[in-house]
Chains A and B, each alone.
Chain A
Amino acid sequence: MKRVSIDPITRLEGHGKIDIFLDDAGDVANAYLQIPELRGFEKFCTGRPAEDMPNLTARICGVCPEAHHLAATKAIDRVFHVDPPPTAKKLRELFYSIFFATDHTTHFYALGGPDFVVGPQAPKAERNILGVISKVGMDIAGKVLKMRRDGHHLIKMIGGRAVHPNWGLPGGVSRGITEEQRQEIEKLGREAIEFAKFSLQLFRDVVLGNTEYVNLIKSDTYTHKTYNMGTVDENNKVNFYDGKIRVVGPDGKEKFKFDSKDYKQYVAERVEPWSYLKFPYLKQIGWKGFVDGADSGVYKATPLSRLNASDGMATPLAQAEYEKFYEALGGKPVNPTLATHWARLIELTYATENWVKLATDPDITGKEFRRLPTETPTEGVGCVEAPRGTLTHHYATDERGILTRVNLIVGTTNNNAPICMSVKKAAQGLIKKGKVSEGLLNMVEMAFRAYDPCFGCATHSLPGQMPLEVRLRNADGDVVERLSQYLD
């Protein structure tokens, strides 16, 4: 049996490794995505005061510390049985909308977008942010840098630091904002809406205007019919900060809708001996292996899943785009993984609109941004939608608020099984009778990248370029062929 190893750089890098095994006929027998690291936050956070968790768990991921910071803050609201005042909730959601817009911008322009903007067939060396710039011009690069700079500036202004904020407390936040700050947030938010509109137009012109790209998006190689998970508000509209968790089936119909505190009834995690990262699945459906369909508990939690799991967007521009999205891709649910890039831009639009909506809310500069807990702390679950999936923090404490149990299900981890399946399917599409197509690397990488896999959460690496190398080995393990996107 032959083996194709795809290591980001090499096995020694620790950023995830893919092994593809070929059967005797030279077709794909199986594929494994291995995550080589564990840090043990759930264990070493026990014994710590619960109020430290927003700061401790931010260190799970420096790319999306805001997500962990707020999931932890919401969890300790519940641990301490304190409901934050309206100003605090709105400030947190404002902060989170700014973060989401910033993060989705990074992914679209620097990580995922180049596949389309520069082109899936373009040389690897050009499929990056520099390639995007050379294709579409320096003024777009300026817009992207400005969007990121503005986002981090405001995150630091509100939360204290650009990376690893120190702001969330049970019952609220440590500091509110002034009218002067609000005006700046609003101004930059209005500019961010224009940036989102511009990004969607760019996507329409470059991707949707190209039949080849549209066919690629719709192709079976990139399609999986699994359950979809996302958080929705009281009108079943997408929400990043709060709401009920909704799961729809491969048929697009609602299967479950639950409060995050009940997550254990719906989600379970499986352990495999070949990866340090667990595999979540829908508990009531059960684990049936790495397979699609209504009988398999595998689910996705991505921007695409959130759209599929909702009935629409809560803001007008995003809602209009949502409708165009489903019209163009044949109604709900949309299953092709590559449509996730488009979904991400619709979420970017919603994030910017919500940013301005909250920045112009009369409560936002309110002076009551904290409520002190008065009850004995016990147990609580906090959930937000991280950019890369539903993020769950569950804590239990003793009567002093010292943690006795911690459980975390983080964004990318939700998608561990679907990413494995996507990789396998892409490999099956490209490896026939022992022939490894040169296109494999690009195709596998695209399958992978649509998820925006943040192994910073799952392990520790950035959701960055995955410099892939394929080694085709014979049964003795000797490398008989080597392909790399970085070798001419």
Chain B
Amino acid sequence: MSSASGAATAAGTKPKLAIYWAASCGGCEISILGIDTKILDVAAAFELVMCPCIMDGKVRDIEQLEDGAIAVCLFNGSIRNSEQEYMAQLLRRKSKVLVAFGSCAHEGCIPGLANLHDKQAIFENSYQETESTENPQRVRPQTATTVPEGTLHLPVFYDTVRTLDQTVDVDYYLPGCPPESPKIWEAIQAIVAGNLPPKGTVIGSDTTVCDDCKRIRNVKKVKQFKRTWEIIPDPEICLLEQGLLCCGIATRAGCGALCPQVNSPCIGCYGPNNDVHDFGARLMSAVASVIDADNPKDINAIISQGIPDPVGTFYRFGLAGSLLRRSKRPAGSDGGH
């Protein structure tokens, strides 16, 4: 054994913590490191058995643990290939508490927009259509390739990006892209204290970004939506009332309304509040409520003119986890995968 894990074992009865990434960007880990010197408190409270970003975490060692041996697993990233699916299943089995950590695991995040397409279309684009690709032989990555020296293997790429709870049973969710460091620290403290809410809870407040935003609201309705490049918004007044599609109205609080503070609209990375089944539908109805028009025709015109990409706007972070989940699948795709 390495001295690191050896020392941890010698420490004896500390609960085991695993931090894992699947299809993610690494931003969740950077945000965990953002708790700064408190990371030493985490090290004091837990035996870290897996965290690929800072230490060895051999899968074989995890496989050999008894089921339920890991007290808490913070799992970030969505599930987009066979390896990630295996790891989700393995860590679910080995962990008492599995937390879907961050937007990708929670609701699919921006990479979940890939569900507007399927594997074949993504491959065709990446390996053929993209302008710097030179591929006259139409080569595609294969799960098994015979080279002169032997056979090389790659994981299976699925048609559909799935959230963690579409793959395995999940106990808690920590929202955000990434979750802000103070919220991570709060969640860790709650875990250490054993002060956990009922299973299935999204750990965080149940107010909206608007509640944390200091901008002035005049309850003014909008006749026209503007794209961010079209106006320089007033720094004091509600961005939505200025015609920018700020998602704060339907987005869970937790970040401290950071984006509006730099004069940018909330893009919705913290996802929906409790009891909202579909963030996009909730945001659409919230937005509809500020439109200064009465009949559906006028409302439609205002939306289609000012919001040219409804799916990318209302489901920017939540498509994979939404009721829609993905575009209609063509025949011959890999089913639920």
Contacts and interface: CB of A to CB of B under 8 A. Distances in A.
Interface of A: 1, 3, 8-15, 19, 21, 29-30, 32, 34, 36-45, 47-49, 51-52, 55-56, 59-63, 65, 76, 80, 123-125, 145, 149, 152, 156, 158-167, 169-171, 174-175, 263-264, 267-276, 278, 280, 283, 287, 370, 372-373, 394, 400-402, 405-407, 409, 456, 460-462, 464-465, 467, 469, 484, 486-488
B109 interface: yes
B328 to A, nearest CB: 15
A276 B154 contact: yes
Interface stretch (B200-208, B260-268, B278-286): B260-268
Nearest to A130: B4
A161 to B, nearest CB: 5
Contacts of B149: 1, 3, 21, 29-30
A1 B148 CA distance: 10
The 8 A-B pairs at the shortest CB distance, nearest first, are namely A62-B27, A21-B149, A160-B262, A40-B122, A62-B25, A467-B56, A456-B26, A43-B125
A63 B24 CA distance: 11
B229 A3 contact: no
A235 B313 CA distance: 43
A259 to B, nearest CB: 15
9 contacts: A32-B147, A37-B23, A48-B113, A273-B141, A273-B145, A274-B147, A373-B229, A407-B131, A486-B56
Given A9-B59, A36-B155, A271-B139, A460 B2 contact: no
Contacts of B127: 271, 278
B227 A145 contact: no
Given A42-B126, A62-B24, A62-B25, 6 more contacts: A9-B59, A40-B117, A40-B125, A42-B130, A44-B117, A63-B30
B296 interface: no
A11 B232 CA distance: 50
Contact of A163 (B3, B27, B259): B27
A269 B52 contact: no
B56 A9 contact: yes
Interface string B104-124: 000001110110110001100
A160 B261 contact: yes
Contacts of A124: 2
Contacts of A61: 25-27
B147 A169 contact: no
A164 B131 contact: no
Given A59-B110, A59-B111, A405-B131, A145 B36 contact: yes
Interface of B: 1-5, 21-31, 34, 36-37, 52-60, 77, 80-81, 83-84, 86-87, 109-111, 113-114, 116-117, 121-122, 125-127, 129-135, 139-142, 145, 147-150, 152-155, 157, 177-178, 181, 227-232, 235, 255, 258-259, 261-264, 267, 269, 308-309, 311-312, 316
Contacts, number: 286
A40 B126 contact: yes
Contact of B139 (A11, A159, A272): A272
A403 B36 CA distance: 39
B114 A43 contact: yes
Given A9-B57, A161-B258, A275-B154, A394 B131 contact: yes
A62 B267 contact: no
B111 A39 contact: yes
Contacts of A52: 309, 312, 316
Contacts of B110: 56, 59
A407 B132 contact: yes
Contacts of A19: 150, 152
A51 B81 CA distance: 30
A51 B58 contact: no
B170 to A, nearest CB: 20
A169 B259 CA distance: 13
B143 to A, nearest CB: 10
A167 B148 contact: no
Most buried by B among A48, A287, A401, A405: A48
B116 A44 contact: yes
Contacts of B150: 1, 3, 19, 21
Contact of A62 (B30, B142, B153): B30
Contact of A13 (B83, B111, B117): B83
Contacts of B23: 37, 39, 460
Contact of B135 (A51, A169, A175, A270): A270
A415 B215 CA distance: 46
Contacts of A163: 27, 30-31, 34, 178
B26 A462 contact: yes
B154 A36 contact: yes
Nearest to B149: A21
A51 B229 contact: yes
Nearest to A45: B113
A174 B262 CA distance: 6
B117 A43 contact: yes
Nearest to B127: A271
Nearest to A14: B83
Contact of A39 (B29, B114, B133, B229): B114
Nearest to B2: A486
B59 A10 contact: yes
A402 B255 CA distance: 29
A401 B181 contact: no
Nearest to A168: B264
A12 B86 contact: yes
A40 B232 CA distance: 32
B56 A62 contact: no
A73 to B, nearest CB: 11
A278 B181 CA distance: 34
B160 to A, nearest CB: 12
A125 B263 contact: no
A482 to B, nearest CB: 10
Given A30-B147, A273-B141, A62 B83 contact: no
Contacts of A174: 228, 262-264
A12 B111 CA distance: 21
Given A12-B86, A44-B117, A49-B309, A271 B264 contact: no
A61 B150 CA distance: 33
A171 B229 contact: yes
A460 B130 contact: no
Contacts of B86: 12
Contacts of A462: 26, 29, 52-53
Contacts of B229: 51, 76, 80, 169-171, 372-373, 401
B77 A402 contact: no
A152 B36 CA distance: 11
B308 A9 contact: no
Contacts of B109: 59
A465 B317 CA distance: 30
A14 B30 CA distance: 19
B290 to A, nearest CB: 20
Contacts of A1: 149-150
Contacts of A268: 132-134
B117 A39 contact: no
A183 to B, nearest CB: 19
B52 A464 contact: yes
B251 to A, nearest CB: 13
B114 A273 contact: no
